[in-house]
């Protein structure tokens, strides 16, 4: 049995704690916020490997979006100047090189989710089946063929209540959850398993004679043989005292929640694929609308015109949304690497330090498989059945 400190209580840190505790380790999970999570609560809650390949962030895309935010993607010129190396690498490598690996990783993670739900009947308002909708039937056909999923035509989509969309792809076996309920119930589950969950404590790292040492607010040193950094978009800041940079930058997104008054408005978990918008209605009646991929640092506030773009676009395809009452607005920060691959493994030069971050747009989908890799690595083993070398932190050393 090892003592393990997990720094960051988002979904990645919670799954890492879950698996390590299952293996009998003595786990302490430290989370800076006492008042709820930012990113692991403020997201779409879609566990959807099929729709995971991201649009490549090529130079042309960057050039066309830097100076005007009219769609879901925006990159501030200031952010490009401050992190020129990151953007040059993103433009050079894009994401398409590893599309197949990401799809396979997502499929493995979905399998781990299903195993998890069979064992632990948490109630995160799971819904089965995700539909991606397209303005062009041809686009939908191409995606359906590529993913080996079912194509749906314009008349079926119109019957569901959507307008102006001609094609859809249904991923029957993929799921959506209410991320707030899921994180709350997983945290409770960790406590009952014996994980020491310490909320409202900020962890800092230092070098203690060649080994990483974690200290929490107030100066208490955490006694641990291994430390796992799962601090999401903040992982760069957390690791910087040890001279390692996981090359993670925050890409923010917006979440709007509406009260439907109990009326069914959204037929099922839906992706409006032409706009990068996700839409779902939870069993509680709450409608969740999410979008935007903006690289602007850690600013929380979205401009009013961005919110209007999101609402108007969603309403133009599902008019029933227009009458709903907004009850919550939140911002999340995706932890993104320039090659769009996670950073999972041992941190160079420190035998007792691991990092698990960089899941960017797919952090909910990939949390179990990320934790699966860390679970093996903490015990000194290679994780079977996943291309873990691709995610080696040493690639950024």
Footprint of ligand FAD (CB under 6 A) = 7-13, 30-33, 37-40, 42-46, 202-203, 230-234, 238, 253, 255, 278, 290, 332, 334-335, 357, 359-365
Q: Which residues contact 46 (CB under 8 A, 6 or more apart)?
A: 130, 174, 175, 176, 269, 271, 278, 280, 364, 365
CB of 154 to ligand FAD, least distance (A): 25
Least Cβ distance, residue 381 to ligand FAD (angstroms): 22
Please check whether residue 248 is in contact with residue 337, taking contact to mean a CB–CB distance below 8 angstroms. yes
State which residue, 99 or 156, has the beta carbon closest to ligand FAD. Answer: 99
Provide the minimum distance between the beta carbon of 171 and ligand FAD in the complex, in angstroms, as a whole number.
13
C-alpha span between 90 and 338 (Å, rounded): 4
Question: By C-beta, is 101 or 156 nearer to ligand FAD?
Answer: 101
Give the shortest CB-198-to-ligand FAD separation in angstroms: 9
Residue 328's φ and ψ, nearest 5 degrees, are: -160, 140
Give the number of other CB atoms < 10 A from CB of residue 254: 19
For residues 212 and 364, which CB has a smaller minimum distance to ligand FAD in the complex? 364
The residue with its CB nearest to ligand FAD is: 363
- φ, ψ of residue 354 in degrees (nearest 5): -125, 155
- Give the nearest distance from C-beta 138 to ligand FAD in angstroms: 25
All residues at 6 or more sequence positions from 275 whose CB lies less than 8 Å from its CB, including other chains: 71, 72, 291, 313
- 234, two tokens: 């903040």
Nearest to ligand FAD of 44, 94 (CB atom):
44
Looking at the Cβ atoms of 142 and 199, the one nearer to ligand FAD is 199
Closer residue to ligand FAD (CB): 166 or 329: 329
Least distance from ligand FAD to the Cβ atom of residue 37, Å? 5
List CB contacts of 107: < 8 A, sequence separation 6 or more: 49
- For residue 211, the cross-strand partners are 208
Would you say 37 or 386 has its CB closer to ligand FAD?
37
Residue 179 three-state SS: helix
Nearest to 90 by CA among 276, 297, 294, 337: 337
């Amino acid at each position: 049995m090892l003592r393990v400190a997990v720094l960051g209580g988002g979904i990645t840190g919670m799954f890492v704690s879950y698996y390590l505790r299952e293996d009998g380790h003595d786990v302490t999970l430290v989370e800076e916020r006492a008042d709820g999570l930012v990113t692991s609560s403020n997201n779409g809650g879609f566990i959807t490997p099929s729709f995971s390949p991201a649009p490549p962030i090529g130079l042309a895309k960057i050039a066309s979006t830097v100076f005007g935010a009219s769609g879901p993607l925006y990159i501030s010129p200031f952010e490009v100047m401050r992190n020129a190396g990151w953007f040059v690498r993103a433009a050079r490598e894009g994401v398409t090189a590893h599309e197949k690996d990401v799809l396979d990783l997502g499929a493995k993670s979905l399998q781990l989710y299903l195993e998890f739900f069979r064992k632990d009947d948490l109630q995160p308002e799971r819904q089965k089946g995700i539909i991606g909708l397209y303005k062009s039937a041809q686009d939908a056909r191409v995606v359906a063929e590529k993913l080996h999923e079912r194509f749906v035509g314009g008349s079926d989509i119109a019957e569901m209540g959507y307008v102006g969309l001609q094609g859809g792809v249904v991923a029957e076996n993929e799921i959506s959850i209410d991320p707030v309920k899921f994180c709350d119930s997983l945290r409770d589950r960790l406590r009952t398993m014996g994980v020491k969950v310490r909320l409202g404590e900020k962890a800092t790292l230092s070098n203690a004679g060649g080994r990483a040492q974690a200290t929490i607010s107030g100066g208490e040193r955490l006694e641990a043989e291994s430390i796992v950094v799962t601090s999401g978009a903040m992982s760069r800041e957390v690791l910087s005292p040890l001279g390692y940079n996981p090359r993670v930058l925050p890409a923010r997104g917006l979440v709007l929640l509406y009260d439907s008054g109990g009326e069914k408005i959204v037929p099922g978990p839906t992706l409006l694929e032409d706009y990068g918008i996700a839409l779902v209605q939870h069993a509680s009646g709450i409608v969740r609308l999410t979008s935007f991929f903006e690289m602007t640092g850690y600013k929380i506030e979205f401009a009013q015109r961005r919110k209007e773009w999101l609402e108007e676009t969603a309403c133009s395809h599902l008019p029933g949304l227009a009458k709903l009452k907004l009850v919550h607005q939140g911002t999340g920060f995706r932890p993104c690497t320039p090659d769009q691959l996670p950073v999972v493994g041992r941190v160079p030069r420190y035998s007792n330090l691991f990092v698990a971050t960089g899941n960017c747009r797919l952090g909910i989908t990939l949390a179990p498989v990320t934790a699966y890799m860390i679970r093996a690595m903490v015990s000194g083993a290679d994780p079977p059945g996943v291309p873990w070398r691709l995610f080696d932190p040493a690639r950024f050393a």
